[in-house]
Amino acid sequence: MLQQLFFGYYAFIIIGLSLIVVTRKNPGHSVMWMLLLFFHIAGLYLFLNAEFIAAIQVIVYAGAILVLFLFVVLLLNLREEITLRQTVGSWPAAFFISALLFIAVTAALGAYVQGPAGKYSIDAIRSETHAKALGKLLYTEYLFPFEIASLILLVAVVGAVVLAKRKLRS
């Protein structure tokens, strides 16, 4: 009962906050509401026994990505922007499409059959901590994707610098 109540609180707040995020006029306010949203999602991860993922969520999403967003919002001068019309004219069509997607996904949930359980039960993870179990898997079985992820980050760093710098006069 307490668990359902806990989940209900998180689900209610997450859905409410995401609605607030996509409807604010001022992008700066949106970023602030999104910060709160990411903390609640991190709480949901803790509820699912994924403490390392919750820490990553707070550090990378709330700490790095949102600060980047905030910098860009503060750098751009959007004072006239927010007086203009904010949504496209055919928003009921967009609502219809996304509601159709929601209905399709939830209707497909009834046909879900759970597969056999893996070896990482809660007790197994607890005996060697979540970060250690995840690290073992990441550095043995998923070493190659991990290296590719580092390459993606390198490309992102170089690409961001190239895109955002001013053109040099020749």
Partner 1 sequence: MVPLHWYLTLSAAVFMIGMFGFLTRRNIIIMFMSVELMLNAVNISLVSFSHYLQDLRGHILVFFIITVAAAEAAIGLAIIIALFRNKQTAHVDEMNEMKG
DSSP letters, 112-142, are: -------S--HHHHHHH-HHHHHHHHHHHTT
**Alpha-carbon dihedral angle through residues 27, 29, 34, 36, given to the nearest 10 degrees:** 170
Contact pattern from residue 10 through residue 49 relative to partner 1, giving x for each residue in contact according to CB under 8 A and a dash for the rest: -x--xx--xx-xxxx--x--xx--x--xx--x--xx--xx
Distance from CA of residue 108 to its chain's centroid?
A: 23
14 with 41: CB under 8 angstroms?
Answer: yes
What residues between 139 and 168 interact with partner 1 by CB under 8 A?
142, 145, 149, 152-153, 155-157, 159-161, 163-164, 166
Does 2 bind partner 1 (CB under 8 A)? Our answer is no
Q: Distance between CA atoms of 26 and 79, rounded to whole angstroms? A: 9
Q: In this complex, which beta carbon is closest to partner 1, that of residue 151 or of residue 170?
A: 151
Using CA atoms, how far apart are residues 124 and 136, in angstroms rounded to an integer?
13
- Closest to partner 1 by CB, 85 vs 169, is 85
Q: Taking CB under 8 A as the criterion, which residues in 94-133 touch partner 1?
A: 94-95, 97-99, 101-102, 105-106, 109, 112, 114-115, 117-122, 125, 133
Q: Does 85 bind partner 1 (CB under 8 A)?
A: yes
Does the protein bind partner 1 through residue 1 (CB under 8 A)? no
Angle value at C-alpha 152, between 37 and 155, nearest 5 degrees? 110
Number of residues engaging partner 1 in binding (CB under 8 A): 85
Site residues for partner 1, 53-82, by CB under 8 A, read 53, 56-57, 60-61, 64-65, 68-69, 71-73, 75-76, 78, 81
